[in-house]
């Protein structure tokens, strides 16, 4: 395949590079625009698994890297918030196998609850960050990230954005890596056990590593100079660099690939050779602030361009200093729950009962829109239970009794279980009610499996968490499962009864997502056939 020109998305390019570079394990949690990376890696023959959430995915990745194997960990930008605890201390440790952590950011919020700029994490956690501009660089930087990671024994963040993840551009892959040594654990306690006695020198080591990487970046880093007229110099990163080339092809442009730690001497020399220096970057003014802090005078973009994605036209406006109002894009059709979606019944019941609904993230967040308008809060994955409990604790009784927390099955496994621990441990005087909307899949991100479905990433059977058994074992007082056949009236009656009780209650509403149902039936049939075949084999010697 080496030398062949392939048209592929940035996500697929990362997966292909991981395969060619000998990544032993890919872990992650689904989230647009990162989800396809592990799915493609699996399809190509790599070993990929969904973790219950991003923190666990990174921890599993750290374990494989400690064991000397190359690892890819994927998540969307907000997933890095969940993984931030291991991330910051992982930076202090020495890893053996290369570890690349993909943070897929979503400027413009095509499918996210915020547009946080994860470049801040590179500086905050002190980890090198690579930012590709297209699929070729997504491929190349995955390899490079693994190499940097192994050379300096440090995890590397590969920051993608929606356009790079999903746009298809040409990729010329290289030869696969030579056969790599088998993973083997070599004990190095001071480098891996972060008690203060070892963490203090580890922090010094980390700063030393970064200084060395910055030096390397000055000379050999993946930074590109496009010659042009000295009147206008542009420093850019990521997809914004592509827009800038098109908006101002006559300009001299320095495109930075390793954006943390920055090659500041190189940028300073570039700045000295141009009459006007403009930083073109999507999102927050991260790069321009870093340049100014280093004493390099640079123009940034007006505040209005901090919001949403950039494009060629917006970059033209930035370069012209144009702050006039931008044309308003035509409104698309608002999204809605599919016809026949099981979430509809739940939100009809909640609306009819005039509940105060602490909501969560998934397809069911659409319950906030008409005709239901039956969701009152939604912050981040898993927040529904804590937020509902907080309201229950302080609201007057008549309102507190109407509060319900609503959470999807994948979201429950991701970060809802600790909410149940909180409910059992600090129960409000009026009790509380949690609804798990179990549609048998992670519908919102494209029907991924999770530990509650009993199937692995490739849909083959594995262990399955029973939500009802879990809730009972944790001490929830009333646990019910409502199958689809109960209908809206049955569900309404049950919710009303439970709201009247000053006890903790959990209801699992179980009905497959209508879009996923045929596939779920197919996987279940395949699993049953496999089981029967295995039993048949086992039975043979006896017979
Ligand atoms: C920390 C974090 N990780 C990932 C996502 C992407 N995401 C949003 S909702 C969701 C799960 C939805 O599945 P589920 O709870 O089962 O609800 P459904 O869509 O099936 O109704 C995911 C993975 C996110 N918003 N935040
Ligand atoms: S994809 Fe599934 S869960 Fe999402 S709205 Fe449609 S039927 Fe409902």
Together in a domain, 213 and 228: no
Q: Is residue 543 part of a domain?
A: no
Rounded Cα gap, residues 440 and 447, in angstroms:
9
Q: Does any ligand 2 atom lie closer than 6 A to the CB of residue 287?
A: no
Q: What are the tokens at 402?
A: 């109407």
Q: How high is the pLDDT of residue 161? A: 97
Together in a domain, 421 and 485: yes
Together in a domain, 234 and 376: no
Q: Is residue 533 part of a domain?
A: no
Together in a domain, 232 and 356: no
Task: Pick the closest to residue 309 from 31, 33, 79 (CA basis).
Answer: 33
Q: How high is the pLDDT of residue 542? A: 35
Q: Give residue 444 CA to ligand 1 midpoint distance, Å.
A: 6
Q: Which atom of ligand 1 is nearest to the CA of 30?
A: 23
Is residue 298 exposed (0-12), middle (13-18) or buried (19+ Cβ within 10 Å)?
A: buried
Q: Does any ligand 1 atom lie closer than 6 A to the CB of residue 439?
A: yes
CA torsion, points 335, 336, 342, 344, in degrees to nearest 10? 140
* Closest residue CA from atom 3 of ligand 2: 513
Q: Is residue 537 part of a domain?
A: no
SS3 category, 399: helix
* Closest residue CA from atom 5 of ligand 2: 337
* Closest residue CA from atom 6 of ligand 1: 31
Residue 297: CATH number of its domain: 3.40.50.920
Of 110, 162, 410, 517, the one to substitute when testing ligand 1's pocket (max ligand atoms within 8 A of C-beta) is 410
Q: Is residue 183 part of a domain?
A: no
Question: Which 3-state string (H, E, C) describes 7-54?
Answer: EEEHHHHHHHHHHHCCCCEEEECCCCCCCHHHHHHHHCCCCEEECCCH
Together in a domain, 262 and 313: yes
Q: How high is the pLDDT of residue 543? A: 34
Q: Does any ligand 2 atom lie closer than 6 A to the CB of residue 439?
A: yes
Q: Is residue 521 part of a domain?
A: no
Q: How high is the pLDDT of residue 354? A: 97
Q: Is residue 494 part of a domain?
A: yes
Task: Tell me which ligand sits closest to the C-alpha of residue 437.
Answer: 1
pLDDT tens series, the chain, 543 aa: 567 999 999 999 999 999 999 999 999 999 999 999 999 999 999 999 999 999 999 999 999 999 999 999 999 999 999 999 999 999 999 999 999 999 999 999 988 999 999 999 999 999 999 999 999 999 999 999 999 999 999 999 999 999 999 999 999 999 999 888 899 999 999 999 999 999 999 999 999 999 999 999 999 999 999 999 999 999 999 999 999 999 999 999 999 999 999 999 999 999 999 999 999 999 999 999 999 999 999 999 999 999 999 999 999 999 999 999 999 888 888 889 999 999 999 999 999 999 999 999 999 999 999 999 999 999 999 999 999 999 999 999 999 999 999 999 999 999 999 999 999 999 999 999 999 999 999 999 999 999 999 999 999 999 999 999 999 999 999 999 998 667 788 999 999 999 999 999 999 999 999 999 999 999 999 999 988 998 876 544 333
Q: Is residue 302 part of a domain?
A: yes
Rounded Cα gap, residues 259 and 214, in angstroms:
10
Q: How high is the pLDDT of residue 540? A: 42
Q: How high is the pLDDT of residue 2? A: 64
Together in a domain, 216 and 238: no
Q: Does any ligand 2 atom lie closer than 6 A to the CB of residue 520?
A: no
Rounded Cα gap, residues 448 and 14, in angstroms:
19
Together in a domain, 73 and 159: yes
Together in a domain, 312 and 377: no
Handedness of CA 218, 223, 229, 235 (dihedral sign): negative
Q: Does any ligand 2 atom lie closer than 6 A to the CB of residue 363?
A: yes
The strands making up 251-256's β-sheet, listed across from edge to edge, are 224-226, 251-256, 229-237, 276-280
Q: Are 253 and 226 in contact (CB under 8 A)?
A: yes
Q: How many residues does the chain have?
A: 543
Q: Does any ligand 2 atom lie closer than 6 A to the CB of residue 471?
A: no
Residue 349: CATH number of its domain: 3.40.50.970
Together in a domain, 383 and 462: yes
Q: How high is the pLDDT of residue 59? A: 98
Task: Please identify which residue in the block is written with the tokens 């009236």.
Answer: 489
Together in a domain, 424 and 448: yes
Q: Does any ligand 2 atom lie closer than 6 A to the CB of residue 109?
A: no
Q: How high is the pLDDT of residue 1? A: 58
Total number of domains constituting the chain: 3
Together in a domain, 231 and 280: yes
Together in a domain, 200 and 277: no
Q: Is residue 398 part of a domain?
A: yes
* Closest residue CA from atom 2 of ligand 2: 513
Rounded Cα gap, residues 22 and 64, in angstroms:
13
Task: Pick the closest to residue 513 from 436, 460, 438 (CA basis).
Answer: 438
Q: Where are the beta strands (DSSP E) in 42-131?
A: 48-50, 71-76, 99-105, 129-130
Task: Tell me which ligand sits closest to the C-alpha of residue 515.
Answer: 2
* Domain extent at residue 40: 6-178+188-220
Q: How high is the pLDDT of residue 534? A: 85
Q: Peptide bond preceding 261: is omega within 30 degrees of 0, i.e. cis? A: yes
């Amino acid at each position: 395949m080496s030398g062949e020109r392939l048209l592929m998305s940035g996500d697929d390019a990362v997966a292909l590079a991981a395969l060619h570079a000998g990544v032993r394990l890919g872990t992650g949690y689904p989230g647009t625009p990162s989800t396809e990376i592990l799915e493609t890696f699996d399809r190509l023959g790599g070993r990929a698994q969904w973790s219950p959430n991003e923190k666990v995915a990174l921890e599993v990745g750290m374990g494989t890297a400690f064991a000397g194997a190359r690892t890819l960990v994927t998540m969307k930008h907000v997933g890095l918030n969940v993984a931030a605890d291991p991330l910051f201390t992982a930076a202090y440790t020495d890893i053996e196998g290369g570890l690349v952590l993909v943070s897929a950011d979503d400027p413009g919020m095509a499918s996210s609850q915020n547009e946080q700029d994860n470049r801040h994490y590179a500086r905050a956690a002190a980890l090198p960050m690579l930012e590709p501009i297209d699929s070729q660089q997504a491929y190349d930087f995955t390899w490079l990230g693994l190499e940097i990671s192994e050379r300096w024994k440090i995890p590397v963040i590969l920051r993608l954005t929606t356009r790079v993840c999903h746009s298809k551009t040409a990729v010329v892959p290289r030869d696969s890596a030579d056969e790599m040594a088998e993973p083997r654990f070599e004990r190095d306690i001071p480098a891996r056990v972060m008690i203060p006695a070892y963490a203090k020198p580890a922090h010094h080591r980390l700063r030393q590593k970064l200084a060395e990487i910055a030096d390397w970046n000055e000379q050999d880093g993946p930074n590109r100079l496009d010659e042009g007229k000295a009147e206008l110099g542009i420093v850019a990163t990521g997809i914004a660099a592509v827009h800038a080339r098109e908006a101002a092809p006559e300009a001299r442009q320095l495109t930075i690939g390793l954006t943390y730690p920055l090659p500041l001497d190189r940028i300073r020399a570039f700045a000295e050779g141009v009459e006007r220096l403009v930083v073109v970057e999507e999102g927050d003014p991260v790069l321009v602030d870093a340049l100014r802090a280093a004493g390099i005078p640079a123009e940034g973009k007006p505040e209005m361009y901090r919001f949403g994605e950039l494009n060629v036209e917006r970059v033209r406006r930035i370069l012209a200093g144009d702050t006039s109002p931008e044309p308003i894009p035509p409104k698309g059709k608002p999204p809605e729950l599919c016809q026949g979606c099981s979430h509809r019944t739940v939100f009809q019941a909640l609306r009819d009962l005039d509940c105060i609904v602490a909501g969560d993230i998934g397809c069911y967040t659409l319950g906030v829109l008409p005709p239901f308008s039956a969701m009152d809060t939604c912050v981040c994955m898993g927040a529904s239970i804590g937020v509902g409990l907080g309201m229950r604790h302080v609201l007057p009784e008549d309102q507190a009794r109407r509060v319900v927390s609503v959470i999807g099955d994948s979201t429950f496994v991701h970060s809802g279980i600790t909410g149940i621990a909180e409910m059992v441990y600090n129960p409000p005087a009026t009790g509380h009610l949690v609804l798990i909307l179990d549609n048998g899949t992670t519908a919102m991100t494209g029907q991924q499996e999770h530990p509650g479905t009993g199937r692995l990433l490739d849909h083959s059977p594995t262990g399955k968490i029973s939500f009802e058994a879990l809730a009972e074992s944790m001490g929830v007082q009333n646990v019910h499962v409502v199958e689809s056949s109960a209908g809206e009236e049955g569900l309404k009656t049950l919710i009303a009864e439970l709201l009247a009780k000053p006890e903790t209650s959990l209801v699992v509403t179980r009905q497959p997502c209508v879009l996923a149902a045929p596939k779920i039936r197919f996987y279940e049939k395949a699993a049953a056939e496999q089981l029967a075949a295995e039993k048949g084999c086992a039975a043979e010697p006896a017979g």
